[in-house]
Amino acid sequence: MQMGLTENQLSLDLLESWLKNNPDSAEFKNDNHSLFKELALFQDYHGLPAFKNSLADFMSEIRANKVTFDPNNLVLTAGATSPNETLMFCLANLGGAFLLPTPYYPGFDRDLKWRTGAEIVPIHCSSSNGFRITESALIEAYEQAQKQNLKVKGVLVTNPSNPLGTSLSLHEVNLLVDVVSSKNIHLISDEIYFGTVFCSPGFVSIMEVLKNRDLMKTDVWSGVCKIMEVLKQNLLRCRVMHWLRLETRG
């Protein structure tokens, strides 16, 4: 059982008025036809296909349609803790480590490590450059993990960052892509707060970088890296795990 799910009470008024204006939904109906059995009984573990299709569209829409998402690559989860922990179970066992830029969401020490046995090794970022990720800090963290006899399985970033609220620059995302592909490790991009960025023209999602660098189609890319993107759609207590080329490696 996963007890880590937080909730957003800021949008309850919106939810309440939407439900009032759409009574069919509250009664599990569509055009007066009951959907109760369809929803209550056993269904696709990955999420209802119609819901995944709508979410894939919504995820593109909030990225100004610069990228598209294949609903077949989405798994819906109850919260973002759950996919983050699941990814750790899949990608890193005891003796495995993920590198995380500091400062990071303190819940990660619980979510990523407690049950999986994986370790977090910090990528030390400093206020002197606005907590930007540098190549030297990344490499230092990688080497530090090796000194601790840990096998580095990947890098996990939150973009926008919790707790900083800042977004990664294009340079940083490119750097991450270059480093994970050269080291043949994974990149998890936790973009759960992306939908709350309203005035950040500089925001760039990992998907955009992959697309702009034409990396999504190349065999080289599929051979070297896996990208996970975790989104949080705050109004609904639902999170989305989007993956590209989930292969076993390292």
Ligand X SMILES: Cc1ncc(COP(=O)(O)O)c(C=O)c1O
The catalytic residues are: 105, 190, 192, 232
- Map tokens 């999986």 to a residue: 116
Name which of 186 and 239 has its Cβ closer to ligand X: 239
211 and 67 Cβ atoms separated by less than 8 Å:
yes
Name which of 108 and 221 has its Cβ closer to ligand X: 108
Residue 220 C-beta: closest distance to ligand X, Å: 30
Residues that bind ligand X (CB under 6 A): 4-6, 79-81, 84, 105, 107, 158, 162, 190, 192, 232, 239
Residue 115 C-beta: closest distance to ligand X, Å: 14
Residue 84 C-beta: closest distance to ligand X, Å: 6
Helix (H) or strand (E) holding 50: helix 49-61
How far apart, in whole angstroms, are the C-alpha atoms of residue 101 and residue 161? 10
Residue 83 C-beta: closest distance to ligand X, Å: 9
How far apart, in whole angstroms, are the C-alpha atoms of residue 172 and residue 180? 12
How far apart, in whole angstroms, are the C-alpha atoms of residue 113 and residue 61? 34
Name which of 79 and 96 has its Cβ closer to ligand X: 79
Name which of 4 and 195 has its Cβ closer to ligand X: 4
- Map tokens 């900083």 to a residue: 164
Residue 244 C-beta: closest distance to ligand X, Å: 19
- Per-position DSSP letters for 6-46, written without gaps between them: ----TTHHHHHHHHHH-HHHHTTEETTEE-HHHHHS---TT
Burial class (CB in 10 A: 0-12, 13-18, 19+), 150: buried
Report phi then psi at 121, rounded to 5: -115, 120
Name which of 186 and 232 has its Cβ closer to ligand X: 232
How far apart, in whole angstroms, are the C-alpha atoms of residue 204 and residue 193? 13
